Structure 1
């Protein structure tokens, strides 16, 4: 597993402080971030692969500082957004998967094989030429996950990956995440998604207020929002 270290991290958007003095060391295979809207959990998640850099403090992944080595960090850490439409960039399903490998240095045959394998893995084998944006919501999210995984990262960070999905598709995405060999960090309001996780971190007003086994952390979260 990768070692992700968040050391004294604070973050501001203009005059608004969204993270305050966050210290975490993450080495577990399955970790959840939960908290009310505005708690800072999505901001923190985006720092884990360098989409955002902290205003104060540092975030490192296996010793790589996300502020200085962002490109290297993103090779290690894939990211899945809440809304897959923000992540899908190419007209067809196969093209979108291949697009993630455009700077990989792989040959055409290897890229084609990885695309084929990812289509099969996520139930999209019958849709290589299907318009990406005409997929169902669940299929789009699986495509977004596949586009992150095709680069073979060591870590997947998923920011509320089931929030926009109906129950059936949310279950499909949850099962896909649970099947991964990679280290997985999930931001979610759907507490059932955290079943079987190793650790849950609760954020409130930009601070970590609980951090531990899921049952204990989730109970703290429930008390916070009551």
Structure 2
């Protein structure tokens, strides 16, 4: 079984198709998911993370059925959202990082030890008692990343988490991720972000338009996006 094993994923909230028969099976270390806004990329990321239960199909990450076994899912897969405020729920940095560790069954002292270890790794031990609302967006996104890394998941899903950050902050966080010993799944509309990846999946209107090596998928994707952009019908650009 591959590390990421998602088969026949269908998701139609209130009867509206969002994902239809999506397959993603890969052992690649760097995986890209591309598509236009509204193509189902974020929904797929949430399904892969076990945050959404699909109407059909199943996702297994590192063998864990992420929708049914939430405790196993915590050590199998983590996710970074575009907006850190959609992820953060506690007032201080230490509490936020410790939450997932507690969900994994660690005691208070065990969780604190791991919290301090990840803070030390980033040179941020002085952040432990810091109020999160006083941090910048980039700093809050780093807290989210540290929270995920503390749980040491096998797969990290990146749902365009750096879209709202300035270039230096984005570059720093990407360098951090480059050194992470985990499989990364990058959700993006920008093909340049995933050009050097191992595997790319192109979603179009909730269906797999193509997937495989980036050199095979991305030129076709870019040609289609260019074709749409050159058209005069704005209804074609509303996705």
Please say whether Structure 1 and Structure 2 have the same fold, judged by a TM-score greater than 0.5.
yes
Aligned residue for 2:19?
19
In the alignment, the residues of structure 2 paired with residue 173 and residue 186 of structure 1 have an alpha-carbon distance, to the nearest angstrom, of: 13
Q: Paired residues, what number?
A: 226
After TM superposition, give the deviation of residue 187 of structure 1 in Å.
Answer: 0.8
**Which residues in structure 2 correspond to 1:1-226 (within 5 Å)?**
3-194=3-194, 196-226=196-226
After TM superposition, give the deviation of residue 99 of structure 1 in Å.
Answer: 2.2
- The two structures have a TM-score, normalised by structure 1, of 0.90
In the alignment, the residues of structure 2 paired with residue 55 and residue 162 of structure 1 have an alpha-carbon distance, to the nearest angstrom, of: 30
Q: Secondary structure at the match of 1:17?
A: coil
| Offset from partner CA, 1:14-58 (integer Å, 9 cap, x none) | 132111111221211111111001111111111112101111222
Between stretches 100-109 and 41-50, larger displacement belongs to 100-109
- The two structures have a TM-score, normalised by structure 2, of 0.85
Q: Secondary structure at the match of 2:223?
A: helix
Q: Secondary structure at the match of 2:200?
A: strand
After TM superposition, give the deviation of residue 203 of structure 1 in Å.
Answer: 0.7
Gaps in structure 2 of 5+ consecutive residues: 227-239
| Offset from partner CA, 1:175-197 (integer Å, 9 cap, x none) | 12211101111112344432542
In the alignment, the residues of structure 1 paired with residue 130 and residue 65 of structure 2 have an alpha-carbon distance, to the nearest angstrom, of: 39
Aligned residue for 2:229?
none
In the alignment, the residues of structure 2 paired with residue 19 and residue 111 of structure 1 have an alpha-carbon distance, to the nearest angstrom, of: 37
Q: Secondary structure at the match of 1:14?
A: helix
After TM superposition, give the deviation of residue 70 of structure 1 in Å.
Answer: 3.4
Gaps in structure 1 of 5+ consecutive residues: none
CA 1:116–1:196 in 2, change beyond 3 Å: closer, same or farther? farther
Quick check: 2:34–2:188 contact (8 Å CA) kept in 1?
Answer: yes
Quick check: 1:138–1:172 contact (8 Å CA) kept in 2?
Answer: no
Radius of gyration: which is bigger?
Answer: 2
In the alignment, the residues of structure 2 paired with residue 197 and residue 3 of structure 1 have an alpha-carbon distance, to the nearest angstrom, of: 16
- Name the structure where helix makes up a greater proportion of residues: 2
Cα RMSD of the aligned pairs, angstroms, is: 2.1
